[in-house]
Amino acid sequence: MDLNKLRETAAGIVSREDVKYLIGWRRGTFGYRVSPYFIEDAAGVEELIFSPLCISNLATYLTLVERLPVPRGQQPDERKVALLVKGCDSRAVNQLLVEKGINRDRVIVVGLPCPGMVDWKLLAEKYPETEAPVEMRWQGDDFLLVHNGQEIVVPRAEALAEKCRLCRHPNPVISDATVGEPVQPWEPAEDSGVGEIEAKSAPERWAYWEEQFSKCLRCYSCRNVCPLCYCEDCILDRLNPTWVNRAFNFSENTAFHLARAFHLAGRCIECGECERVCPAGIPLGRLNRKLAKTVREEYGFEPGLDAEGEPFQASYRPEDPEEFIL
């Protein structure tokens, strides 16, 4: 990745009168942390980065920050928002466009071909974090970590994030400007996490998820970080009628997570953000990927690949399987 080219492109975009700001990444306050970065003028691009640590999906800010209506007495800012996207992030943008969650003429998409991101938790197990921010970049098929003043080659297999092991679309599927050469897609690894669940009997699966959901704090981090959970009024928050009580126990937690999973069926772009931010370590990715796998294998449908396409539940075809109909 040519960082100078990225910053040059970003400076040109934010200098336009019709652009409000560009959303990207910059180094965090310590260790392997990277922060979302809102750039409003060309001077700010000097802090912009793109590295194997930029794992977060910034597409969620398109609905979190840009949500209408504006406060009384203020006029909406109609200028465009520019967004840096990896392959999985770009699928989220496409899905938002399909669902009319955002307007195409209000977004500038800057595509970044992605060789793969690191899971900083895996990285920290072997190379403990330091207080000072570290640098990391791609080196061939591996990663190069600048740690405590030393350059360390980190083998790809040691630190690659799970979502990247399973990735089928590392190159952006939508972009107005692309920085960097397309990467050669790799053969996705077998989804051992979903396979492990599928191999269990029904009672074993129930016991497994009972253990996992019982750990849930109901902090809603999974919902808040998800780029496709953008309803202004979540039905799971309603108290009249009450669909899910706010007590955090296995019964209510199960109702919450299953309702959210089915709401994402045919919509989840498998970015892994829900699992990444979960403070209880619940493997939510396995749940969402299982439904995504079923939709893909049974119906040949992958969300987020075509901004002009139809939502999954509106894409009926006569040859769709009907064996489940009684």
pLDDT in tens, 217-233: 999 999 999 999 998 88
Residues contacting residue 216 through CB under 8 Å, at least 6 positions apart: 248, 253, 256, 257, 280, 282
SS3 content of the chain, % helix, strand, coil (to 5): 35, 15, 50
pLDDT in tens, 301-313: 999 999 888 888 8
Q: Which two tokens stand for residue 72?
A: 């009384």
Residue 30: what pLDDT? 84
Which letter does DSSP use for residue 268 in this model?
Answer: -
pLDDT band at 66 (very low <50, low <70, confident <90, very high): low
What order do you get walking across the sheet with 135-139 strand by strand?
A: 135-139, 142-147, 150-154
Q: What does the mean pLDDT of the chain come to?
A: 90
CA torsion 200→187→113→18, rounded to 10°?
A: -50
Residue 65: what pLDDT? 72
Residue 132: what pLDDT? 80
Instruction: Give ∠ CA 312-234-222 in degrees, rounded to 5.
Output: 80
pLDDT band at 91 (very low <50, low <70, confident <90, very high): very high
pTM of the model: 0.89
Largest CA distance in the chain: 65
Residues contacting residue 194 through CB under 8 Å, at least 6 positions apart: 286, 289, 290, 293
Residue 202: what pLDDT? 94
Instruction: List Cα–Cα distances, 140 to 2, 35, 263, in angstroms.
Output: 14, 25, 39
Q: How many residues does the chain have?
A: 326
